[in-house]
Structure 1
Amino acid sequence: MALPFHTGIVGSYGLLTPHIQDLGFIKDVLERWASGLDITRLGSLAACVSVAPVAWRFLKAAWVESFHWTRRLFMASVTVPGRDPLNRNVMSWVLTNIVQHRGIRSFTARTQVQAGDFVDRAALLKKKRREVQYLPHFDTTFFWHGCCLYFVSRSLDSFHTSMNDPTYDGIGGEELTLGCLGWSTEPIKKLIQTCQEYADRQTEFFVIIYARDKYGMSWQPKARKPIRRVDTVHFDEGLKQALLADIRKYLDPSTKRLYQSRSMPYRRGYLFFGPPGTGKSSLSTAIAGEFGLDLYEVKIPCVASDQDLEQMFQEIPPQCIVLLEDVDAIWTDRDSEKDESQATAKSSCTLSGLLNVLDGVGSAEGRIVILTTNKPDRLDSALVRPGRVDMKVMLGNISRKSAEQMFIRMFAPDIESSPLAANSHSDATESSTKHPLLEAETLQELALEFSLQIPEDTFTPSQLQGFFQLHLNSATEAVANISSWVERELYRSPLDDDISVVSEERAS
């Protein structure tokens, strides 16, 4: 019994021997290195390591001081305030043309909140993963443009302040300083002009909607929406074309010169009225996109006083569209309402305050003012007289002809992604062109069959759009289900109607 035990020890010792020999080898190397090590050199090395942070801070301070004096003595600069609309134009150009091509490695990440979440507070409580928004994080960056070296600096303190606003999209809002080598500011002015031209080109594709910030202190971009075609807003076609022709004539430079030569105020006002969900706000946005104008949104029930309303109008630029929503709220006295269901939110500003900003002595010219209301009979005659309201546009319930047009728009094939667009060469075969024509004829037949099921002047466009959202995958399925949907809508309860009105107002 002892022999196996002894053999096991020997075997284990044999297995451990190489490791012990390795440790001994390492020990010998360390002893030789320590014997030849000069303690004074080790102390010098430690001293250099300890001095490195101090040297780095010195070099950094020297660079900052050198840049400061170089900027003062050999550079010209222009500062753009954070709240100025030009700030957004410059920052948008810098982010698109400079920062994105630089491969910047510093970002600020935050949870992206959709605009609709501010309307539906319950959406914030849903357990769903939200998109992450990455915003470039920089304070000063240099770049070449043309033959000149530029720099752009922004205040990171104001950047972090803007980050606290959930509606901030990372473009503009911080004080910017543009500079270049030399004593002349002309290159900077040309660069700013380039930024403005870039912003003008963006208006061909997007409409910028401005609203007051959460403190009511300044105008801030609320949304950047793709342009919506006017033909997607369905109401009387003759009235639509007359409206577009009137706006086009007003914006013509010759009209402005004519007004000025006759000492007439260069203003134009429109009243959009009709039931909720008929497209008053949508038409305003479509007009802004049609003519390349920014849209400034003023919700009358939310205006605190006449002074606030006047301050808002003073900060609005001349060439734009001002949307005054729910103007009937100014004159509604909720105390005199017998039926609480008919009460309207009351605004603290007065009729005289509104008239003063529209055409008072200090009111600006060149704007297009659009007033919207669901209750035109409550409007004071002083507001809707010619000169303040030059054209009234009624947006009512949808007609059968408009329902047919909406059906075609919803189910028309995407021309840009269709095989016909991809193969639009002159040598295209005849068979490849017949198929889309047959589809168009079939779509027209289905649209006519669909429209015959829609009662005239009964449903709002938003109601019909809600139906299409349930059947976008199949035109034939939409035709098959429209009659039952119409029957349900005609016999729905008044409570359901009230709920749909609230939903339509939120959607608009």
Structure 2
Amino acid sequence: MAALNMAALGGAGAGASGSMPMPPIDASKFPLPLPEWLVGNPLFTAGFGLGAMGAAMSLLSRGAAVAEVVFRRQVLMSLEIPSKDYAYQWVMQWMVANRIHGSRHLGVETTYSKDAAGRQTAAFDFIPSPGRHWVRWRGNFILVDRARETKTVDMSTGAPWETLTLTALSIRPNVFQDILAEAKQAALEREEGMTIIYQCYGHEWRPFGNPKRIRPFDSVVLDSGVSNHVFDDIQDFLQSHKWYLDRGIPYRRGYLLHGPPGCGKSSFVSALAGRLGYNICVLNLGDPSMTDDRLAHMLAVVPPRCLVLLEDVDFAVGQQTPADPSGPYAGVTRVSFSGLLNALDGVIATEERVVFMTTNHFHALPRALVRPGRVDLSIYIGLASRSQLKMMYLRFFPGQEDLSETFATVCEDEGLSMAELQGYFMFFKNKPEEAVANIKEWLDERRKVHEEQLQKLREAEAAKSGKAQFEHSWKMEACRRQC
């Protein structure tokens, strides 16, 4: 009865105001099917019901968002790999090798190489471009999201920072471990039989060029027993980690290879790394951007299974090089001798590393550098001895024992370096008899060139001495006149 009275009042009010009756509502326009009795209700049509439906839809939307978050946390799992991580390149190469990009939006990685003969080769590998991609691997659907920063770049290379995010269902919790293990194994197989040369760029180590084939250990001919002595020593060091720790001795080893240039110091380090299955990190102390702090940092972040090579270490022994007043390295104080000592065996020195140093001027090195703890084993690699002459000849001409004896007898007292011998043998690749027949003529020409160089050096020294003597006499005469 009350409802009828309210309806009557509503009708009377409407009549009194002279307004038109409300048009019928089309129920098909509602997002949800509604009964006829609700659609015809005047209160609902006045807006209360629509407001309630809006609130309900808002709650449903929030509930869906919460459900999505719960679903992502409980059902999905993600793996983020920054571009600075070793696994980043492994996974990218793994995706290329398995061809699982499954996208029409691709990026390209070009591998370009040029051999010694000048032949050029180029290979193109397609990888997922920045953005989202769906891939399938072993029955698993994986979302690959390659995000690239547009405002932040690597200051040493200029490349933008990137992050690779893999998302998959958590029904297989070990899927990411399997992917990383497979990518790592593939990367190690590509590097098997190769030696990677690292150089420092900015404050990190990066591969320099393509990996090199492992150099045979016996290809570097040193004096009798030297090669095996160094190899046995470093093998003993690598197997004595616990022994060092138990006695509180810093677990690091330093080697100094000294001798005339061209005798095989750097080549021996390369061959030794290949036999140990190690890579090489080359540090250039003459780099104008190399400071004491940067040197210590680079020695502290050496990649695993790497030998550190400091070539021409006598460069840091001389007087402190002043900072450049202008140019790209203005104000940069270059590496000092004290900085080198602290990096090798100071408070900031790190452990678990093997350092090889080379020099052509052993007598110029201070005692503080070659003491035990910084240089544990000093090896002289000098000019070719009789045994080296013979082994080098047999290296190029196997089986020629008689000719090797003749060759060694002729060259024994000539003071030849291994680089000179190798250069000579290159002219007689498959001609062992001609190599012996022409050696005397080659040695005569070599002596003549050396005499000319020595004469020029003497003349330069004499001119320098004469000038100094003249200046001294002129100063004495001027002083006498003044007195």
TM-score, structure 2 as length reference: 0.65
Contact 2:224–2:387, Cα closer than 8 Å, also in 1: no
CA 1:151–1:251: 2 relative to 1, 3 Å: farther
CA 1:79–1:109: 2 relative to 1, 3 Å: closer
Counterpart position of 1:236: 223
Partner AA of 1:78 in structure 2: L
How far is 1:145 from its partner?
5.4
How far is 1:453 from its partner?
2.8
Please list the CA deviations of residues 135-164 of structure 1 after superposition, one character each: whole Å capped at 9, or x if unmatched.
313226766655645566656889xx99x9
Counterpart position of 2:125: 136
Please list the CA deviations of residues 360-401 of structure 1 after superposition, one character each: whole Å capped at 9, or x if unmatched.
333321111111111111112111111111101111111232
**Mapped partners of 1:201, 1:137: distance in 2:** 20
**Mapped partners of 2:442, 2:93: distance in 1:** 46
**Mapped partners of 1:496, 1:79: distance in 2:** 63
Counterpart position of 1:191: 179
Residues 5-20 of structure 1: pairs in structure 2 closer than 5 A: none
Which of these residues, 388, 404, 423, is aligned with residue 447 of structure 1? Answer: 404
Counterpart position of 2:170: 182
Contact 1:139–1:156, Cα closer than 8 Å, also in 2: no
**Mapped partners of 2:197, 2:149: distance in 1:** 26
Counterpart position of 1:245: 232
Aligned residues: 368
CA 1:285–1:94: 2 relative to 1, 3 Å: farther
Which of these residues, 250, 259, 280, is aligned with residue 274 of structure 1? Answer: 259
1:286 aligns with 2:275: no
* Secondary structure, aligned partner of 2:367: coil
How far is 1:265 from its partner?
1.0
Q: Tell me the percent identity.
A: 31
Counterpart position of 1:458: 415
**Mapped partners of 1:130, 1:165: distance in 2:** 28
Cα RMSD (Å): 4.0
Contact 1:150–1:180, Cα closer than 8 Å, also in 2: yes
Contact 1:77–1:185, Cα closer than 8 Å, also in 2: no
CA 1:109–1:259: 2 relative to 1, 3 Å: closer
Counterpart position of 2:98: 98
How far is 1:249 from its partner?
0.7
1:82 aligns with 2:83: yes
* Secondary structure, aligned partner of 1:393: strand
Which of these residues, 334, 339, 342, is aligned with residue 353 of structure 1? Answer: 339
**Mapped partners of 1:192, 1:289: distance in 2:** 26
How far is 1:256 from its partner?
0.5
Partner AA of 2:314 in structure 1: D
Contact 1:203–1:289, Cα closer than 8 Å, also in 2: no
* Secondary structure, aligned partner of 1:491: helix
Please list the CA deviations of residues 261-284 of structure 1 after superposition, one character each: whole Å capped at 9, or x if unmatched.
112111111001111111111111
Contact 1:397–1:457, Cα closer than 8 Å, also in 2: no
Show structure 2 runs of 5+ residues with no match: 1-67, 322-332, 455-483
CA 1:182–1:476: 2 relative to 1, 3 Å: farther
User: Is the deviation greater in 316-325 or in 179-188?
Assistant: 179-188
**Mapped partners of 2:167, 2:393: distance in 1:** 54
1:210 aligns with 2:211: no
Which of these residues, 223, 227, 234, is aligned with residue 214 of structure 2? Answer: 227
Counterpart position of 2:249: 264
CA 1:191–1:445: 2 relative to 1, 3 Å: farther
CA 1:317–1:152: 2 relative to 1, 3 Å: same
Contact 1:410–1:468, Cα closer than 8 Å, also in 2: yes
Show structure 1 runs of 5+ residues with no match: 1-67, 117-127, 336-346, 413-439, 498-508
Counterpart position of 2:438: 481
**Mapped partners of 1:465, 1:151: distance in 2:** 56
CA 1:178–1:376: 2 relative to 1, 3 Å: farther
CA 1:91–1:368: 2 relative to 1, 3 Å: farther
Please list the CA deviations of residues 281-316 of structure 1 after superposition, one character each: whole Å capped at 9, or x if unmatched.
111111111111121110111153112212322322
CA 1:75–1:300: 2 relative to 1, 3 Å: same
CA 1:101–1:191: 2 relative to 1, 3 Å: closer
Partner AA of 1:470 in structure 2: F
Please list the CA deviations of residues 209-267 of structure 1 after superposition, one character each: whole Å capped at 9, or x if unmatched.
10023xx3432101411111221112122122111101111111xx1011111121111
CA 1:246–1:203: 2 relative to 1, 3 Å: farther
Counterpart position of 1:376: 362
Please list the CA deviations of residues 81-118 of structure 1 after superposition, one character each: whole Å capped at 9, or x if unmatched.
323334344444444x424999x9978587946599xx
* Secondary structure, aligned partner of 2:348: coil
Counterpart position of 1:407: 393
**Mapped partners of 1:93, 1:334: distance in 2:** 48
**Mapped partners of 2:272, 2:101: distance in 1:** 35
In proportion to residue count, which structure has more strand? 2
Contact 2:144–2:166, Cα closer than 8 Å, also in 1: yes
* Secondary structure, aligned partner of 2:281: strand
CA 1:220–1:109: 2 relative to 1, 3 Å: closer
1:391 aligns with 2:377: yes
How far is 1:407 from its partner?
2.3
Contact 1:108–1:134, Cα closer than 8 Å, also in 2: no
**Mapped partners of 1:403, 1:100: distance in 2:** 56
Contact 1:234–1:398, Cα closer than 8 Å, also in 2: no
Contact 1:110–1:132, Cα closer than 8 Å, also in 2: no
* Secondary structure, aligned partner of 1:370: strand
**Mapped partners of 1:239, 1:183: distance in 2:** 58
**Mapped partners of 2:442, 2:167: distance in 1:** 63
Residues 315-354 of structure 1: pairs in structure 2 closer than 5 A: 315-333=301-319, 348-354=334-340
TM-score, structure 1 as length reference: 0.62
Contact 1:271–1:389, Cα closer than 8 Å, also in 2: yes
**Mapped partners of 1:100, 1:395: distance in 2:** 52
**Mapped partners of 2:88, 2:224: distance in 1:** 40
How far is 1:326 from its partner?
1.3
